Amino acid sequence: MSERIFITGIGTGVGKTVTAACITEALKADYWKPVQTGLLEGADTDTIKELLSNDVSVCHPELWKLELPASPHLAAREEQVKIEPGAIISRAADLQPVGRRLVIEGAGGLMVPLNDDYFTADLIRELGAKAIVVAQNYLGSINHALLTAGMLRRLGIHVLGWVFTGDYHSNEDDVVKWSGYPKIGRIPRAQHVDKSFVQQQAQLLSANLHSLLA
């Protein structure tokens, strides 16, 4: 099976999509957000298409696009549909020609439910994906990051490392020390998140990414 890299985070709004754009660009991988909730603010897949500049990456369509800006299990219930993890697993196989890496972005953080008895963490494990955890630097992020790391370790999920977002904060060093997972890099806040910003950040992340994937 070709490599699957799942972008999860210590919460929602922490910078997973911008990070996914940088990683997809650095690896010239394909991108997929199987479940999108909250369409008013724009779908992540459309953001990724605007931020990529390489002509190799393919952005695959979502399996579920749900209106409500909420947890997938709630947004699905609102529309009287049920998110079926089996459909995600089987579609993932169709999306990945041999040799192509697939960057998959979750909705929100690791323990976000996709339905009433299945979590994002279960999906990462069933996909056999390697996880990259996006951790925004803020007061409280040590706790959120180490809770996420603890759950990933307990589930035996292969973690490639952390991408921190925002200005430097010593929390990064403590999270790396106490989690035992490496720092892949940090994406600073930008005046404008555009193609050139993503290209620049992709270059900065590339060496660590490739060495961790070797």
Ligand X SMILES: Nc1ncnc2c1ncn2[C@@H]1O[C@H](COP(=O)(O)OP(=O)(O)OP(=O)(O)O)[C@@H](O)[C@H]1O
Ligand Y SMILES: C[C@H](N)[C@H](N)CCCCCC(=O)O
Instruction: Give the one entry of ligand Y, Mg ion, ligand X, none that residue 14 binds, where binding means its C-beta sits below a cut-off of 5 to 8 angstroms depending on kind.
Output: ligand X
Is residue 86 a known part of a binding site? no
User: What are residue 31's phi and psi, to 5 degrees?
Assistant: -125, 145
Dist CA 122 CA 207 (whole Å) = 29
Give min distance, CB of 38 to ligand Y, in A. Answer: 3
Q: Beta-carbon neighbour count of residue 184 at 10 Å?
A: 23
- Which helix (H) or strand (E) segment is 118 a member of? strand 118-119
Instruction: Classify each residue of 99-117 as buried b or exposed e, where b means 16 or more C-beta atoms within 10 Å of its C-beta.
Output: ebbbbbbbbbbbebbbeee
Query: Is residue 28 flagged as an active site residue?
Result: no
* Binding to ligand X in span 96-115, by CB under 6 A: 107-108
Binding segment for ligand Y (CB under 6 A), chosen from 105-113, 158-166, 191-199, 203-211, is 105-113
Give min distance, CB of 108 to Mg ion, in A. Answer: 9
Q: Answer for the pair 146, 174: CB distance below 8 angstroms, yes or no.
A: no
Q: Which is nearer to ligand X, 44 or 172 (CB)?
A: 44
Is residue 16 a known part of a binding site? yes
Dist CA 1 CA 95 (whole Å) = 11
Closest CA to 150 of 111, 123, 117: 111
Is residue 128 a known part of a binding site? no
Residue with tokens 């897949």: 45
C-alpha dihedral, 194 to 44 to 8 to 28, nearest 10°: -60
Binding segment for ligand X (CB under 6 A), chosen from 13-21, 115-123, 140-148, 149-157, is 13-21
62 counts as binding ligand Y under rule CB under 6 A: no
147 counts as binding ligand Y under rule CB under 6 A: no
Q: What track of x and - describes contact with ligand X for positions 174 through 203 (by CB under 6 A)?
A: -------------x-xx--x----------
Q: Which of 33, 130, 177, 183 is catalytic?
A: 33
Is residue 140 a known part of a binding site? no
DSSP letters along 1-15, please? ---EEEEEESSSSSS
23 counts as binding ligand X under rule CB under 6 A: no
User: Which residues are designated catalytic?
Assistant: 33
- Residues lying near Mg ion in the complex (CB under 5 A): 16-17, 44
